[in-house]
Amino acid sequence: MRTLMGLLDRRGTGTSALGAAALVVVLSGCGQAAVGAAAAPAAVEEPEPIPVVEPTCIADYGSSYGSAAQLVAGAAVVVRASPTGASRGYKSYPLPPTSDDPATSPQTGMSPEEFAQFREEAALDLTAITVRVVEVIKGDVAVGDLVEVSQNMCTERPLPTDEGRDYLLALATSESGAPMSQLSDSGAAWQVRSDRTLVPVHPEDDLDVTSVDQLAALAAAAAPA
């Protein structure tokens, strides 16, 4: 034992150098293992396509907004939301005369009895779906709120309510108690990918909105100081 200890004492410098070299090798190996274990980027999940249905009427609900900035400015509410599966039918009735121009207000000049009959005859049967707000871009709503969104009967792409859908919606508010509605049938609804980029619900959407964050930035820029 004494001989071995003496040998180690006499060769202490060489032993230390050998130990240091071994330490470098071990640490280098650990570094390589750590790099090799890095996780690959998660694949972006594509949303399910929106089914096309036969509309029950013909109408032009084309967007009157020339840009995404105009759309955000015109919307009362912009939210990311997920459908709850709930929906209900309801009737939408024409409002009383709003002007003296028959071209813009067909019920102008009607007696109360005539308007009551017109109101019933012109009522539309609509569907409202219920969505849960998961992110607020603009508007007086909060995360977790349940919001009804009207689906007009002239659209060929009503929003499916099955589980797992993730929408970004630009909405207008109606009279008290009525469901909200999309600002445009062809340019105010998108499906959200897992990386927050967007797929337009309608193929004719030409607003070039590419991500949730793009609309959020536009809303922030337009917000009062």
Nearest to 149 by CA among 163, 177, 128: 128
CB atoms within 10 A of CB 220: 11
77 forms beta bridges with 171
Q: How many domains does the chain have?
A: 1
Residues 6+ apart with CB under 8 A from 187: 63, 65, 71, 200, 202, 204, 205, 206, 207
Ramachandran angles phi, psi of 181, nearest 5°: -140, 155
Domain for residue 170, yes or no? Answer: yes
Domain for residue 206, yes or no? Answer: yes
23-80 tens-digit pLDDT = 333 334 444 444 445 555 667 778 888 878 776 665 555 457 889 999 999 999 999 9
Domain for residue 112, yes or no? Answer: no
Tell whether the model's pLDDT for residue 132 goes beyond 90: yes
The pLDDT confidence band at residue 189, using thresholds 50, 70 and 90, is very high
Domain for residue 45, yes or no? Answer: no
Domain for residue 176, yes or no? Answer: yes
Domain range for 156 is 68-87+128-222
The pLDDT confidence band at residue 19, using thresholds 50, 70 and 90, is very low
Tell whether the model's pLDDT for residue 103 goes beyond 90: no
How far apart are alpha carbons 49 and 51 in whole angstroms? 6
The CA-atom distances, in angstroms, between 173 and each of 12, 28, 139, 196, 204 are 83, 62, 10, 25, 24
Place of tokens 């309608």: 202
Domain for residue 210, yes or no? Answer: yes
76-99 tens-digit pLDDT = 999 999 999 988 988 888 878 777
Domain for residue 144, yes or no? Answer: yes
Contact 183, 37 (CB under 8 A): no
- Taking the whole predicted model, whether its pTM rises above 0.75 is answered as no
CB-count burial class (<10 Å; 0-12, 13-18, 19+) for 60? exposed
Q: Provide the CATH number for the domain around residue 173.
A: 2.40.50
The pLDDT confidence band at residue 108, using thresholds 50, 70 and 90, is confident
Contact 132, 144 (CB under 8 A): yes
List the structure tokens of 83. 């459908």
Domain for residue 43, yes or no? Answer: no
List the structure tokens of 46. 């594509």
pLDDT of residue 18: 38
List the structure tokens of 97. 């005369």
